[in-house]
């Protein structure tokens, strides 16, 4: 099998079309499983009562917000280095979902912070750097939208993504480097300080977020491929067939 063939937009368009239903259904089933564990199996928290159940979306959303950014930076770097068309399209397809998860992480964090800390928002290092991440996503999307020339836009957006990537380790290690109100990491390579069933609910929700991201990014990249390849014979044939 020639793996390089999948770097061709035409091949990838059809592959993505076949993969989308699997990831979409996977995301749905994992969400049902994760929420069932989160609300009906996991016990009440000793310190935080039921308010802790917000973490089943807060933590996966926060993980995705950082992870999607790194994947975008990866595709941007590949695109800039090798000038591969599909890499830039992947970067563009991921950005809106990354911004959405960043917003969700901030929003759910505020609704957890109010009952637990007594404040919707504090300017602590973790919260501030996550807010900067949201601004980076919005800035990158706006930059792409502002530049009509696709190639120039791709390059400028990817460059901004790469420069902004410095913020991701800052978010991750902020709870270590600074004295933050936000608690430290619960999941560490050395082990976790969390109840097993709570951890299970959180990990299942994290996988659900993963599957969801892949599904929507593939739908979006297919649209971008059609748009950019509209003058090719295969897109013309595809559109003609659907009438």
- Is residue 51 a contact residue for other proteins (CB under 8 A)? yes
CA distances 141 to 66, 107, 154, 161, 204, Å, are 16, 20, 11, 10, 30
Phi, psi torsion values for 188, nearest 5 degrees: -130, 160
Among 104, 168, 198, 221, binds other proteins (CB under 8 A): 104
Q: Is 65 in the site for other proteins (CB under 8 A)?
A: no
Q: Does 50 engage in binding with other proteins (CB under 8 A)?
A: yes
Choose, by CB under 8 A, the member of 115, 145, 169, 197 that binds other proteins. Answer: 115
Site track for other proteins across 172-211, x = CB under 8 A: ----------------------------------------
* Site residues (vs other proteins, CB under 8 A): 39-40, 42-44, 49-51, 53-54, 57-58, 61, 96-97, 100, 103-104, 107-108, 111-112, 114-115, 212, 216, 219-220, 222-223, 226-227, 230, 235-236, 239-240, 242-243
């Amino acid at each position: 099998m020639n793996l390089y063939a999948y770097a061709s937009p035409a091949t990838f368009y059809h592959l993505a079309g076949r993969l989308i239903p699997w990831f979409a259904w996977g995301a749905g089933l994992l969400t049902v499983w994760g929420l069932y564990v989160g609300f009906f199996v996991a016990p009440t928290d000793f310190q935080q009562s039921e308010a802790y159940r917000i973490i089943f979306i807060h933590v996966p959303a926060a993980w995705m917000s950082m992870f999607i950014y790194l994947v975008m930076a990866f595709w941007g770097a590949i695109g800039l280095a090798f000038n591969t068309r599909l890499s830039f399209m992947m970067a563009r397809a991921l950005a809106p979902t990354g911004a959405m998860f960043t917003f969700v992480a901030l929003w759910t964090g505020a609704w957890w912070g109010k009952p637990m800390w007594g404040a919707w928002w504090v300017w602590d290092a973790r919260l501030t750097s996550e807010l900067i991440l949201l601004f980076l996503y919005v800035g990158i999307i706006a930059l792409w939208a502002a530049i009509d020339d696709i190639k120039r836009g791709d390059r400028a957006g990817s460059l901004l993504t790469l420069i902004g990537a410095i913020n991701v380790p800052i978010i991750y290690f902020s709870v270590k480097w600074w004295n933050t109100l936000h608690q430290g990491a619960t999941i560490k390579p050395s082990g976790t300080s969390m109840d097993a069933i709570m951890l299970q609910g959180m990990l299942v929700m994290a996988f659900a977020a993963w599957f969801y991201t892949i599904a929507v990014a593939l739908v979006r990249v297919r649209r971008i491929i059609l748009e950019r390849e509209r003058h090719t014979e295969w897109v013309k044939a595809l559109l003609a067939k659907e009438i």
